Amino acid sequence: MKSSHNIVLIGFMGAGKGSVARELAQNLDRFNVDTDDMIESSLNMKIREIFSEFGETHFRALEKNLAKFLAKNLKNAIISTGGGFAMVKGLNKIGKVIYLKASFDCIIERMRNSENAEKKFAKRPLLNDLDKARELHKSREKIYEKKADIIINVENKTIKQIAKEIKKILNKEKD
């Protein structure tokens, strides 16, 4: 992989995309950006507010625009994405796509046991109803797999272990 290429982390809510992106950025001496953060800061609104004021459809349109912007303007970065961002067209034009894969139960269990569990659930409108979220996970798994260049099983692994695994694969590809 060329060093100018971005790395795009995809996967379900709570899979650890943001934390892995930060760790990878440090390891690879790159900068990381997050699609939700970019959308939040450009509207000066939180994701939950965007959902409740403008609706999910509008949020998806913002993701679509952002995808075009990233493909055109960003290089050499680690990009963590919102769980639905992988549905945009031309995802692989942005960079090398890595899917952080974990079962729904594993993700929810880990979120529940995390330090700021309440905050993690509160900021994600699509986790309000866990039955619906489970269905969403099920329906998205195949899409994530199809869109991914690399699939990393992240269950029972620390952020450092996941980042190390990714780095190893990327290094191998350089040879």
Question: Annotated binding site for substrate, which residues?
Answer: 36, 60, 83, 140
- Site for ligand S3P contains 13 (CB under 6 A): yes
Q: What is the C-alpha to C-alpha distance for residues 63 and 133, in angstroms, rounded to an integer?
A: 20
- Site for ligand S3P contains 36 (CB under 6 A): yes
Q: What is the C-alpha to C-alpha distance for residues 86 and 88, in angstroms, rounded to an integer?
A: 6
Nearest 10 degrees: CA dihedral of 61, 68, 139, 125?
A: -50
How many residues interact with ligand S3P (rule CB under 6 A)? 9
Residue 76: CB atoms within 10 Å: 15
**Which of 104, 93, 69, 98 lies closest to 81 in space, CA to CA?**
98
Q: Of these, 25, 47, 67, 162, which contacts ligand S3P (CB under 6 A)?
A: 47
- Site for ligand S3P contains 101 (CB under 6 A): no
Binding mask 55-94 for ligand S3P (x = CB under 6 A): ---------------------------xxx----------
- Site for ligand S3P contains 102 (CB under 6 A): no
